[in-house]
Amino acid sequence: MDSSTNVRYEVAGPVARISIDRPERLNALNRATAVALDRAVADAIADPAVRVLVVTGAGDRAFVAGADIAEMASLTAAEAQSFSRLLQAAFDRIERSPKPVIAEINGFALGGGCELAMACHVRIAAAEARFGQPEVTLGLIPGAGGTQRLPRIVGRGRALDLLLSGDVIDAAEAHRIGLVNRVVAKDELRVAVDAYAVRLASRGPMALGRVIEAVVCGSEMAQDDAMRMEAALFGLSFATADMKEGTSAFLEKRKASFPGQ
């Protein structure tokens, strides 16, 4: 880890773990940390040995408690827009990653932290985690995708309730409305995430990437266009070594060993 960027990057087998490491600031995102996070995600995507990414926060209190208010408070309007676009680009890279990205949410996921979690493909939270977009309580609006991803995940009505009120909800409520996929005991979070990551890493990598592409891109299309895209990606899957290995393993009643090609 570069101590000036506050992001730790570790690889264990097929899983890359990216940790925001500013526990004294509840892992709040400043510009340097956002740039380092984006670089770590890009490195993991480019590494052929990595098949799944995990994003989390250091310490036991916060995933990411938001953007760094101390840094943001002095920004001009133009600088704030630039910071917003930086965060949006970093989170877009996560959302469009051809490798699954799991958010391991160990504590507060507020503002930019909630937006970071929403950019990940799967969200697994500790029971103590808290979620919200409290920007309106500061006279601001979300700037890292919150107004766009939250309605797509939980629906417009629930999203507007959270965005307009700035309320913070617990993990059980986040699970009920579909903001998180799973809630586990805090002392079981790392084990649960690692087990899930290893399970995803055993699936066909080319297929995983095409599922993500179909869902992320398809959600922005008319359904007929999205169906045509799905059919095209389905057809392309038949030209992969992964498909040949997967079908052969099934017919031969053995575990598949996907080459990722």
The helix or strand, by DSSP H or E, that contains position 149, with its residue range, turns out to be: helix 146-154
User: How many CA atoms does the CB half-sphere of 160 hold within 13 Å?
Assistant: 3
CA dist list (Å): 63 to 32, 42, 147, 236? 17, 20, 20, 37
Any catalytic annotation for residue 115? yes
CA 177 → CA 131, 157, 210, distances in Å? 12, 11, 27
CA 178 from centroid of its chain's CA atoms: 15
Q: Is 220 a catalytic residue?
A: no
If you write DSSP's letter for every residue of 90-127 in order, what string do you get?
A: HHHHHHT-SS-EEEEE-SEEETHHHHHHHHSSEEEEET
Record the tokens describing residue 161, joined without a space.
């309730």
List 10, 71, 104, 135, catalytic entry: 135
Contact (CB, 8 A) for 118 and 219: no
- Kindly name the residue from 71, 79, 104, 115 that is annotated as catalytic: 115
Catalytic positions, written as ranges: 115, 135
